[in-house]
Structure 1
Amino acid sequence: MTADHRFMIKRLQGLETMFASFAQTTRMPYVECDGDTYDDQVYVFAEEEEAKKWAKAYEEKKIPLTTVRIDKEQMLMFYSSLYLIGVNRLAFHNGAEFSYLPLEQVVTVRRPEGDKGSLPGDNATLQLTMIYFLQELRRPDQSPEDPERRRRLQEMEQEMMANLIRAKYVMAIDVSKVEGEFDPKKAGQNIQIPYVKNGEGEVFQPLFSDMWEFQKFNKNKESKFRVVMVPFKGLLPSLIKNAKGYILNPAGVGLVLLRERLDALSRQAEE
């Protein structure tokens, strides 16, 4: 670590409040890939005014950002979330200029060690490719006829789809009507599957890339949700009958996976 890194890391760690740039298109931290180093970085600021100036500059590039206040007691959770979305660097504006700080040198988060049958600790590669794809796809006022943008989106989507097929997912089940203790190995229990509806009244089944995304969704302390781990090939058989598909990370990127698309991807995965 260089002397500059040590000084700036201590400055960042000493803040009582900082401000982060979030993408309005994903409701997640705005992630950018450095063109020279290929680091995946997010932008944090010591001063709210500088964060808002940064957001205004990006708005002119048709990249809508919002400034989120993060207080001291929220910082560890924020940093942990960055590990889970594949970020490895912070672009920290100290009030005068940016310093580029490796995330692992700012805070070390112990990753859960999975064993057979355990829930996935993260799907960082999938999260990162979803964020990049949806940040670009949902940008306002973009020409659908732009060949360069279409090529870029196609490449991003292909990478994301490959990660979708490789991933394992967290699925919620409602055990509030199960008599006695819930036993995941026992058939015939009265379990229910939660669902959400969009503005048109269409039904989607929530799905999660990791436990952090599930916890963002599970805000009702009275709900009796359990979670199970499902590989990609198990998604179609687990989809409730009247659902049009899944919504992956509904409290985050909200990626819609239609039944027909899942079927096509499943057949592709078997080839």
Structure 2
Amino acid sequence: MDNVNKELIQKIQTREEVFTILSRATRQPFVICDPESFNDQVWIFENKEDLEEAAKPLAEKKNPIAAIKVENKSFLSFYTALYTLGVNSVVYHEKDKKTELDLEVIIKKPDFSALPEEKRPLLNPQLQLSGIYFMQEFRRGVDMKEKENLAELEEEVAANLVKSKYLVAVEKQEPGEGEEGKKVQVPYVKNQNGDIFQPVFSDAEEFRKFNKDKKFQALLVTFENLEKVLIPVAKGAVVNPQGFNLVVSKDKIGAMKQRFGL
């Protein structure tokens, strides 16, 4: 690594704050696929004014976006979380200068290989990434016919949904509880029409965001067994309700299982 990059990385790591573009469609940093390198990028800015200028083309395409500030005390959690989203590079903006850096040179990728498999946190970066790209485009404020590559993006999400494992929230059991016949409470969410969907989570971070009051514990389930854990009144599952918030109906779950041979 050259000295210029070393100085830049140190500058990035020690700034009081930076700014990034938030996608209102996913409640995550806006992710951009570079057309030449195909790197999955998040853009970082030294000040809000530069962000607003760089974000104009995104806003003109009717992307629902906002500027968010990331303070130094949150840098570790912010950059680490990018790994869970499948992001592999950061583009740092200093006025008119842009520098792309691998995420790994800013913060080391978490390594859980030393942990026993049953103690490793659940991660689904490919599902997160495909879900983010799909929802960024699906929720863009233009006519459906103007949305680019939506069928391809949906196909990629479907493939990742089927091969992923999930965390399902259930009420915490105190020692001695859980006698036979006792019903375990399961959270659900309602849409604007009052339809009930059961939340499921692609990774531990998404579960943590939902479980802020720590009322629930997480159970691991495969897509193949997802229907079995859905409560009878649920019309389907909602994946990452605090994130990209993807609704998958029971009918669609069944159709995907059949299509992918589960």
- Per the normalisation by structure 1, the TM-score is 0.90
- Per the normalisation by structure 2, the TM-score is 0.93
Deviation at 1:154, TM superposition (A): 1.1
What pairs with 1:4-83 in structure 2 (closer than 5 Å)? 4-83=4-83
Q: Please list every run of 5 or more consecutive structure 1 residues that lacks an aligned counterpart in the other structure.
A: none
Deviation at 1:10, TM superposition (A): 1.4
- Kept in 2, the 8 Å contact 1:63–1:140? The answer is yes
List per-residue Cα deviations over 1:211-242 (Å, max 9, x = no partner).
10011111224x2x111110110101111100
List per-residue Cα deviations over 1:227-270 (Å, max 9, x = no partner).
11101101011111000111110001000011110010111222
Q: Distance between the aligned counterparts of 2:60 and 2:117, measured in 1?
A: 49
Deviation at 1:21, TM superposition (A): 0.6
Equivalent in the alignment of 2:210: 217
Equivalent in the alignment of 2:139: 138
- SS of residue paired to 1:270: coil
1:195 to 1:61, Cα distance in 2 relative to 1, 3 A = same
* Counterpart among 196, 199, 220 of residue 229 in structure 1: 220
Equivalent in the alignment of 1:94: 94
1:7 to 1:119, Cα distance in 2 relative to 1, 3 A = closer
1:90 to 1:181, Cα distance in 2 relative to 1, 3 A = farther
Give 1:259's aligned amino acid.
K
Give 1:180's aligned amino acid.
P
Equivalent in the alignment of 1:270: 261
Q: Please list every run of 5 or more consecutive structure 2 residues that lacks an aligned counterpart in the other structure.
A: none
Give 1:158's aligned amino acid.
E
Equivalent in the alignment of 1:165: 162
Give 1:166's aligned amino acid.
K
Equivalent in the alignment of 1:156: 153
The more displaced of 52-61 and 202-211 is 52-61
Q: Distance between the aligned counterparts of 2:189 and 2:158, measured in 1?
A: 23
List per-residue Cα deviations over 1:93-144 (Å, max 9, x = no partner).
12332110110000114233464444643100110011111111111123x3
1:269 to 1:155, Cα distance in 2 relative to 1, 3 A = same
Equivalent in the alignment of 1:248: 239
- Kept in 1, the 8 Å contact 2:84–2:128? The answer is yes
Q: Distance between the aligned counterparts of 2:120 and 2:195, measured in 1?
A: 29
Q: Distance between the aligned counterparts of 2:20 and 2:243, measured in 1?
A: 16
Q: Distance between the aligned counterparts of 2:119 and 2:166, measured in 1?
A: 11
List per-residue Cα deviations over 1:48-105 (Å, max 9, x = no partner).
1111222233211222321011101111111111000100100111233211011000
- Kept in 1, the 8 Å contact 2:40–2:86? The answer is yes
Task: Please give the root-mean-square deviation of Cα atoms over the aligned residues, in Å.
Answer: 1.9
Is 1:204 paired with 2:204? no
Give 1:208's aligned amino acid.
F
- Kept in 1, the 8 Å contact 2:13–2:75? The answer is no
1:131 to 1:201, Cα distance in 2 relative to 1, 3 A = same
